[in-house]
Amino acid sequence: MKARHKRFGLIAVGLLLLVIAAVLITKSFRSNLVFFFSPTQVEKGEAPKSGSFRIGGLVESGSLKRMPDGLHVQFKITDTAKSIPVQYKGILPDLFKEGKGVVAEGKLNKNGLFEADQVLAKHDENYMPPEAAAALEAAKANKAKGEAQ
């Protein structure tokens, strides 16, 4: 009888721990989801005002400026419809190029400047990060709709 009680007790404790674990996991999961927005969406104010998100598109040609310290850079990400200025401190990835696809993760500051703490431009020259490709697609579709009207 005693052993059985012990067993029940242990199972109860185990279940309780599992529930706590599940709650903690979901909480941590929610707070670490990073959403993606296209420059058009950001321009419309759909992106979060505080908190991190991702923005993707092409690096606008001729927009890359290097600050005198050699480490801060500014450039614009465009989906061909709208473009958003981005600032980043650090060394850009090898495949970062004007006119090529890029995804940046960071926050929007009060002046509408996107302060990136991560810039992703992976893979070979023909490759486009899917988020960047999606942003371009959406802009193209919008434009077509605009013209039809």
C-alpha 136/C-alpha 142 separation (Å) is 10
Please choose, from the candidates 98, 85, 89, the residue with its C-alpha nearest in 3D space to the C-alpha of residue 71.
89
123 binds another protein (CB under 8 A): yes
CA-CA distances (angstroms) from residue 23 to 11, 34, 78, 121?
18, 19, 39, 35
21 binds another protein (CB under 8 A): yes
Helix (H), strand (E) at residue 133: helix 130-148
Q: Pattern of binders to another protein over 43-82, x per CB under 8 A?
A: ---------x-x-----------x--xxx-----------
Give the range of 21-29, 42-50, 74-82, 140-148 binding another protein by CB under 8 A. 21-29
1 binds another protein (CB under 8 A): no
Tokens coding 116: 């990136």
Residues near another protein (CB under 8 A)? 3, 6-7, 10, 14, 18, 21, 24-25, 28-29, 31-36, 52, 54, 66, 69-71, 89-92, 94-95, 122-125, 129-131, 134
